[in-house]
Amino acid sequence: MSTTFPMVTGNGNGTENCAATNRSLYNFYAAVMIIIFILALPLNASVLHLFIFKLKFWKSNSNNIFLFNLVLADILLLFCLPIKAGNFIRGERRSYDKTVCKGMLFMLFLNRGASIAFLTVTSIDRYFNVVHPGRKNLLKALKKSPQISIFIWLLLLPLTIPTMLKTFECCNSHKDRVDEAGNELENEDILIKDVVDSLREVVFFTQIIIPFIILVYCTVHIVNRLRKKTVGDKTKLRRAVFLVTSVMVVFSICFLPCILARMILLIARVRNWSDLSEDIAAAVFDGLMVLSYSDCLLDPLVYCFCSTKFKGLYLNSYFPCLVRGRDMKEDSGNSTGNISNPKRANAVI
């Protein structure tokens, strides 16, 4: 049963309405986030442990450094989900406590941006390895050191500043012409507000659109290159094609719908659609943002467990009882010895 809330001001946030107008729907969103958190946290934590203590990613010549940072960004993002779920259960689209709200926005956008950034860098690295294996490039030289990863994290920090402004999450861009006290803004203040509103929307959209374009370009060229190969195990080639294609599909499902929904919500706010239409657009946007958090669950499955060697190493490390029976039936030189060797796992990730 839906419950409609009146306009809420909440801690000096002006006339911005951040109330969840459909409690049952937002309770469902909260349940989905809790499920994602319960499933993804132990999965990402175990993969992170494997990278540090088994694979020693910092010594690897492969793209394990990028994958480690990808998993790290996802696991940091996961800690925001219980707080976000609590807001939804209380009928709030975001916390009315300014400190909590801005802290959440900082964590959400920094770590989601990092997740997308390292996913993109990993795709670029694979593009050069497959399409231009002999060509020297800056990324190939830098990926052996942590400097490029540190640079990516530092680069993302200033990009989170526009997203932490008070009206961002409830998508009030280019609408209100009043300050926090409810007074009309002067023309100069309105211009400043419009510039800031436009800047944060540019950050939101480009954070997804540009990596998607890069991902599509790399995926198409990698798939074409792999399909032209006549030497090698056909099964492995098909698995490699499936892997790079699945990355693009997961990215498309998780992130593209939310930018489309945000565009519609922006139009609804700017053109002053009816309250019902605006509430529907807001609810759809929030639901698709919840869908984007499932990327934290899918990333380790797509990037790590598509490798049979990594999957074997993972099972051998955390669930040895599942592989013990199989290992007894196979030659030790072709099964356990290879699976438990981190160097062999490094070669395929």
Answer whether residue 343 is part of any domain. no
Report the CATH number at residue 220. Answer: 1.20.1070.10
Measured CA to CA, the distance from residue 38 to residue 32 in angstroms comes to: 10
Give me the sign of the Cα torsion angle 87, 91, 94, 96: negative
Count of structural domains within the chain: 1
Q: How far apart (Å, rounded) are the C-alpha atoms in residues 112 and 110?
A: 6
Residue 58 lies in a domain: yes
Q: Is 42 within a domain?
A: yes
- pTM attached to this predicted model: 0.82
Residue 34 included in any domain:
yes
pLDDT at 240: 81
So what's the pLDDT on residue 65?
Answer: 84
Is 69 part of any domain?
A: yes
In this structure, is residue 337 part of a structural domain? no
- The whole domain housing 56 covers 23-166+187-306
Q: Around Cβ 143, how many Cβ atoms within 10 Å?
A: 24
Q: Is 256 among the domain residues?
A: yes
List per-block mean pLDDT (blocks of 10 residues) for the chain, which spans 349 residues.
38 55 94 96 93 81 78 92 94 84 84 89 85 72 71 86 66 58 56 75 89 94 86 76 88 94 89 87 93 92 76 86 63 44 43
Residue 157: HSE in the Cβ half-sphere, 13 Å Cα cutoff:
5
Confirm if 251 and 210 have CB atoms less than 8 A apart. Answer: no
Question: Which amino acid would we find at residue 176?
Answer: D
Does 2 fall in a domain? Answer: no
Whole-number Å distance between alpha carbons of 28 and 25: 5
Where do we find the tokens 């459909």?
Answer: 22
Residue 341 contacts by C-beta under 8 Å, 6 or more apart in sequence? none
